[in-house]
Amino acid sequence: MTVIGFVRHGVTAWNKEGRAQGSSDVPLDEEGIEMAGRVAKRLSTEQWDAIYTSHLSRAKKTAEIIAEKLPQAMFVVDQRLAERGGGLVEGTTEAERIEKWGINWKELDLGFEPHDAIIERGMAAIRDIKEKHPNERVLLISHGAFIKRLFNELIPDEQYEKSLDNTSVTIVELSDERNRCHLFNCTAHLKQAMDA
């Protein structure tokens, strides 16, 4: 069986401002780079055979920082792991969206990437990873909305509604019978750093 460790990228300025990022290429800020270093240190104590990452710089930089601590791991950039395209709302805050399109903006056709398209590309990537890495442990560095949608597809029996935190670790064991979640949205590495 293949184990996937999903990691959400470090924080960005747009995260802090509450701006929709989607396919916009927003870099990590200083805190995001520091967070990536903390999750990298945590993961360096574990066995990981490969790192797959979205091509968007906030995820790719997080993955590169992790890869420095896991030099033996194969490194792959895969555009299928990008965040959901946000159409016209990218770069806007909730308040700006309400001002521009009204309270029901989510119900409008604003060019969002359809859910089915996200699942199709995400599951195709997962199938390829499973085929190329049987009985291996693979890190997948990506984005909050993308990981959550994919996770709910992989673990359909339990819907996880909580949004994923920056640099959180979620571990799923892929099996032909039934996928299992061993860890969800864990940020213990950030808490340990704050306590220290």
Q: What is the mean pLDDT of residues 17-33?
A: 97
CB 172 within 8 A of CB 180: yes
What are the CA-CA distances from residue 41 to residues 3, 47, 65, 90, 189 (Å)? 19, 12, 9, 32, 8
Of residues 58, 77, 24, the one with CA closest to residue 167: 58
Q: What is the mean pLDDT of residues 3-9?
A: 98
User: In whole numbers, what is the pLDDT of the chain averaged over residues?
Assistant: 95
Is a pLDDT exceeding 80 seen at residue 196? no
Catalytic choice (34, 83, 90, 161):
83
Q: What percent of the chain has pLDDT over 70?
A: 97
Q: Tokens representing 83?
A: 């965040």
| Tokens 């916009």 found at | 24
CB 8 within 8 A of CB 143: yes
DSSP lists the bridge partners of residue 52 as: 76, 140
Distance CA 44, CA 75 (A): 15
CB 5 within 8 A of CB 181: no
pLDDT band per the 50, 70, 90 thresholds, residue 102: very high
| Tokens 């997962």 found at | 126
Predicted local confidence at residue 4, as pLDDT: 98
Of residues 181, 143, 139, the one with CA closest to residue 4: 139
What is the amino acid identity at position 55? H
Distance CA 153, CA 71 (A): 31
Predicted local confidence at residue 193, as pLDDT: 56
Q: Where are the domains of the chain?
A: 2-195
Q: Respond yes or no: is residue 83 known to be catalytic.
A: yes
Predicted local confidence at residue 195, as pLDDT: 57
Comparing 35 with 196, the larger pLDDT belongs to: 35
Q: What is the mean pLDDT of residues 75-92?
A: 97
Catalytic choice (9, 133, 143, 189):
9
Predicted local confidence at residue 188, as pLDDT: 95
Phi-psi region of 90 (alpha: psi -120 to 50; beta: other; left: phi over 0): beta
Predicted local confidence at residue 160, as pLDDT: 76
Q: What are phi and psi of 34, to 5 degrees?
A: -65, -45
DSSP lists the bridge partners of residue 50 as: 74, 138
Tens digit of pLDDT for each residue in 55-70? 999 999 999 999 999 9
Tens digit of pLDDT for each residue in 154-178? 998 877 778 999 999 999 999 988 9
CATH code at 2-195? 3.40.50.1240
Distance CA 71, CA 82 (A): 23
Tens digit of pLDDT for each residue in 108-142? 999 999 999 999 999 999 999 999 999 999 999 99
Is a pLDDT exceeding 90 seen at residue 144? yes
CB 3 within 8 A of CB 46: no
Q: Respond yes or no: is residue 31 known to be catalytic.
A: no
